[in-house]
Amino acid sequence: MSNLDKDFVKLTSENLILQDIINLVKDDGAGAITTFNGTTRNTFKGKTVIQLEYESYSPMAEKVLSDLIHEARTKWELTKTAIYHRTGIVPVGEASVIIAVSSVHRQESLHAVEWLIDQLKDKAPIWKKEVYSDGSVWKENAESRQKV
């Protein structure tokens, strides 16, 4: 089985369903599935958040996400991986990004998921606008800014 059969990347305006993405990475040889389910919260620094809006350069973003999975595979022994990210409007309480990784042992998938979300926020050409009850702002990724 090639990595094309093991790795799943998608940018979509549709709702992300955690169980559907977990099902993509299930494997009888994997003893662990680790997930990150990033959801839109209702506040940020005391402001009421109404929704998030994501834009991306999809062909490049999908390539970056695929490249990140490839790099993760050089660091850890992973069975299957999936990175799904919403585009468009994401209301409070809905998932913006889901990462799921299966591996034989838990440490591999735990480390990979943490690394993948950090790298996604740092490198993927996906932009977020926070819409508040009193306005909106395009957000720079705080993790990336702190590295400078």
Q: Is 47 annotated as a binding residue?
A: no
**Residue 130 annotated as part of some ligand binding site:** yes
Q: Give, rounded to a whole angstrom, the gap between the first and last alpha carbons of the chain.
A: 40
Answer yes or no: is 147 a known binding residue: no
Maximum pairwise Cα distance, the chain: 51
User: What is the distance between the alpha carbons of residues 96 and 39, in angstroms, rounded to a whole number?
Assistant: 5
Consult the annotation and say whether 121 binds a ligand. Answer: yes
Annotated binding site: 105-106, 121, 128-130
Annotated binding site for substrate: 105-106, 121, 128-130
